[in-house]
Structure 1
Amino acid sequence: MIERIDTEPGTIAFGAPRTKQRRAAGATLAAAAVIFFLAEFIAAAAWTDPPYSYTYHYISDLGVRGPLEALDQYMYSPLAWVMNTGFFLYGVVVFAGAAMLTGLRGGRRGAVLVLAAVVGAGSVLLAFFPGDGQADTYHGLGAMAAIVGGNVLIILVGRWYRRHGVARRPGRAMVVLGAFGLVSTVAFLAVAGSGANVLVGLVERCAVYPVLVGLLCAGVSIGRARRPGELDQS
């Protein structure tokens, strides 16, 4: 006997197949953030001469084998392939998670999928066009697509939390994170454009990390099989 579970218009059905798909979507979105953080950590740990700085160096420097000087910075990343693989996998996994999420009834399919595709395409550009000064146009486009698209993506998923199976509090946190990330993106462009290189790595991470934390929030919340009525209570 199959039990029919009715939901309010615009929310997700929570039958057994839907619950499994929700958990898979949540795990995939969270995995994307983990992939990025791990790739960054491993590549940074291998950069020892001189040590890589999370506050001074661009994230993209980790994808440049070097040694060379570009963008007014010295770049030498022995495990550049790890960071570039991380960029590529991150983009693919974000899109896969969004595709699974919007496959559930009530998901805002168009906007979320388009933004996830923008993030995915941007991350792939970062992987294939490292920031070594040779293909700045493609690398810059990829960076802006991944950063701006990612922040807008978590804002929309957080704003439409009930439609995507996210609890209220994580949804609100995602909106705040995305807004902070967008403001930090403007600050990052200003600092990078000035050529001063003052804490440019820190400011860049203020624009990027909110996306990753937002994906983790979404992944953990979506992974919890909750019924629609419980989403507003968490």
Structure 2
Amino acid sequence: MRIHRLGSYSWLLAAPLFLAANVISGLAWRHPPFSWAIHNISDLGNVTCGRWDTTRPREVCSPWHVAMNSAMIVTGVLLALGVLLTWSALGRGAATTATRLLALAGAGGYLLAGAYPADVNENNHFLAALLIFVLGNVGMIVAALARRSPVLGAMREDSLALGLTGLAGTVLFLAQVDLGIGVGGMERVAVFPLLAWTVVVAVRVMREAPGPRR
């Protein structure tokens, strides 16, 4: 169905958009230069320059914070559209429904993070992070249980691997354990699996969707 393909395209756009925003916004930093190992993703969206964070102090100055926050909001919109437009394509069952709702919560996290940068409203930004780190990653593990879904049932191993990776990254990030890739690097381990998962699901949905009539 056309609507399923539109949902898949939304998901396929979200991941590269967010990744590009991370890279391009980071390249704009000068003093200090941006480091994926040292700095959090949220640092790219901070609207002021200065020393930030009492638990892990670091210098933050993001000239293109407007672009980064806008990209986070658009990423959230695209992720939410992906869920809503592919709703019927994922099939039925309690696990499938729970997966959709948890993925929507993760999408809401991106919207909230972009709307409330960490140095503007830290409480709302922390809530946004929890939606992504916890509910988004748990959603992938729940997806591995969705046996009745023709799409999710075919990618159970992918869902489980990505979900566990994201949750492990979340636990280690919150514990400030970097395993040699920096705490900022560990945050990416927590965040990126959900985006990778949406790409895999999008490809599966497009394979299942019938082609246009001729």
TM-score range (shorter-chain normalised) is 0.7 to 0.9
CA contact (8 A) 1:181 1:210 kept: yes
Deviates more, 1:92-101 or 1:146-155: 146-155
1:146 is aligned to 2:108: no
Q: 1:110 aligns with which of 94, 97, 112?
A: 97
Which digits, 9 at most, give the CA deviation of each residue in 1:156-193, with x for residues without a partner?
A: 3344376152573x44222201111101101111108x
Q: What secondary structure is seen at the aligned counterpart in 2 of 1:143?
A: helix
- Quick one: structure 1 residues 161 and 222, their matched pair in 2 at CA, closer, same or farther if it must change by over 3 Å? farther
For 1:88 and 1:55, the matched residues in 2 are separated by: 24
Deviates more, 1:147-156 or 1:60-69: 147-156
CA contact (8 A) 2:89 2:151 kept: no
- Quick one: structure 1 residues 226 and 172, their matched pair in 2 at CA, closer, same or farther if it must change by over 3 Å? farther
Deviates more, 1:183-192 or 1:76-85: 183-192
* TM-score normalised according to structure 2 size: 0.84
For 2:20 and 2:150, the matched residues in 1 are separated by: 27
Q: How far is 1:117 from its partner?
A: 2.8
For 2:164 and 2:22, the matched residues in 1 are separated by: 23
Alignment root-mean-square deviation, CA: 2.5
Q: How far is 1:140 from its partner?
A: 0.7
Deviates more, 1:52-61 or 1:206-215: 206-215
Q: How many residues align?
A: 203
Q: Which runs of 5+ in 2 are unaligned?
A: none
The residue that corresponds to 1:213 in the other structure is 196
Which digits, 9 at most, give the CA deviation of each residue in 1:111-130, with x for residues without a partner?
A: 13321331132222211221
Q: Which structure 1 residue ranges, 4+ long, deviate > 6 Å from structure 2? A: none
Identity of aligned residues (%): 30
The residue that corresponds to 2:183 in the other structure is 200
Q: What secondary structure is seen at the aligned counterpart in 2 of 1:104?
A: helix
- Quick one: structure 1 residues 64 and 21, their matched pair in 2 at CA, closer, same or farther if it must change by over 3 Å? same
For 2:148 and 2:44, the matched residues in 1 are separated by: 38
For 2:185 and 2:90, the matched residues in 1 are separated by: 39
For 1:226 and 1:53, the matched residues in 2 are separated by: 41
Q: Which runs of 5+ in 1 are unaligned?
A: 1-17, 193-197, 228-234
Which residue identity lines up with residue 216 of structure 1 in the other structure?
A: V
CA contact (8 A) 2:146 2:153 kept: no
Greater C-alpha Rg: 1
Q: What does 1:35-184 correspond to in 2, within 5 Å?
A: 35-71=17-53, 72-104=57-89, 106-108=91-93, 110-132=97-119, 134-160=120-146, 163=149, 165-166=151-152, 168=154, 170-184=155-169
* TM-score normalised according to structure 1 size: 0.77
For 2:150 and 2:24, the matched residues in 1 are separated by: 33
Which digits, 9 at most, give the CA deviation of each residue in 1:104-157, with x for residues without a partner?
A: 37245631332133113222221122122x522111111111222221223333
CA contact (8 A) 1:27 1:223 kept: no
For 2:90 and 2:52, the matched residues in 1 are separated by: 48
Q: What secondary structure is seen at the aligned counterpart in 2 of 1:52?
A: coil
For 2:15 and 2:80, the matched residues in 1 are separated by: 12
Q: What secondary structure is seen at the aligned counterpart in 2 of 1:55?
A: coil
